[in-house]
Amino acid sequence: MKELQLKYGCNPNQKPSKIYMADGSELPIQVLSGRPGYINFLDAFNGWQLVRDLKKATGLPAATSFKHVSPAGASIGLPLNETLAKIYWVGDMDWKNFSPLACAYARARGADRMSSFGDFISLSDVCDKDTAMLIKREVSDGVIAPGYTEEALEILKQKKKGNYNVIQIDENYVPEPLEHKQVFGVTFEQGRQELAIDDALISNIVTENKELTEEAKRDMKVSLIILKYTQSNSVCFVKDGQAIGVGAGQQSRVHCTRLAGQKADNWYLRQCPKVLELPFKDTITRAERDNAIDVYIGEE
């Protein structure tokens, strides 16, 4: 497929809209379900690069939850504990036996559930049944992955009455070294951002204390990779391989820090016994619980 017509552009009035390869070659994706739009693909392609980089840097499966061209959450596939399972609303599932990829998405989606509502998901590995079952129960626009098991694809195709966006990307695709963008009819050209985020990059420690644990090095790499795919200005707090607060797209770096810090505070406060024991009715949806908890622990 060399060209794909999209649902519409950034806004419903922006038609026609399509994606294609400028050199006439085949697109590196297949749409297995749904009809993605312009922003869906911006989120999908940026998210795919993010999880690809996370896996390369850590060796673990990775997932990200994207909203409007910035990651709301991202994580590598480390196991959950009971408290995280509760605050991520997976305590009613077999979370102790989740696959690493499912753990990665539970963490990516759960850290900032308010921002992740209606997300576009990117997965570094073939989507398995565990991960598909997680995705099935969340409000989401779509998912991109290098592949899907038969069980996972069947589960995802049932979502949104068969209209859920499921995209498969060629994991061996390598883009051209130069990238282009048009603004107001003028074409911009630059080399792709291919800076390697690895141990060598963070080896020049400028503080007096130059000792970093392996976990701290890992989290620094995770945070830098996440920031690579946010809209500047941006700040990211990471703990245990997952983002717990992302502040992006603000004109002021101070406001970015406040936003990311507030989200990190909320992540900690949601683990408070008073929050965990809130007596919600069974008829209340997870989204409604998220909204109530956000008000309960917020400063307003």
Q: What is the CATH number of the domain that holds 256?
A: 3.40.140.20
pLDDT tops 80 at residue 26: yes
Tally the domains of the chain: 1
Parent domain of 15: 3-297
Q: Convert the pLDDT of each residue in 111-130 to its tens digit.
A: 999 999 999 999 999 999 99
Q: How many CB atoms neighbour CB 278 within 10 A?
A: 11
State the average pLDDT over residues 266-291.
95
Tokens 């408290």 sit on residue? 83
Distances (CA, A) of 161 to 33, 37, 122, 133, 155: 11, 18, 21, 16, 11
Give pLDDT tens digits for 231-264. 999 999 999 999 999 999 999 999 999 999 999 9
Q: Is the pLDDT of residue 281 over 80?
A: yes
Average pLDDT over residues 148-174: 97
Say if CB 267 and CB 112 are below 8 A apart. Answer: yes
| Mean pLDDT computed over 269-285 | 95
Taking 90 as the threshold, does the pLDDT of residue 299 lie above it?
A: no
